[in-house]
Amino acid sequence: MFDYVLLFVIALSALMAIVQENLYKSIIILTFQSFSLAAIFHFLLATDVALVQAILGAALLPGLYIVALYKTTQGRDE
């Protein structure tokens, strides 16, 4: 049952990230989505995939997105 709740959270967070106007908020929402996906992988007993998803999807990629967004908006008024 908890798997279905996480699937709903993933679908809802993907929709929220698309609709969000502030790109920094959408990066945070996508990070939450990656944590939820890692939890689903953990419940499916794919712990190695869950660990990689948690490290890459919830730690490394949002950091890269934030740095790229900062560098592209640098010197521009928001």
Burial class (CB in 10 A: 0-12, 13-18, 19+), 9: middle
* Percent of the chain residues topping a pLDDT of 70: 95
**CA separation for the pair 41, 52 (Å, rounded):** 10
pLDDT band at 2 (very low <50, low <70, confident <90, very high): confident
Task: Indicate the pTM of the whole model.
Answer: 0.83
Q: What is the pLDDT of residues 29-39, one digit of tens each?
A: 999 999 999 99
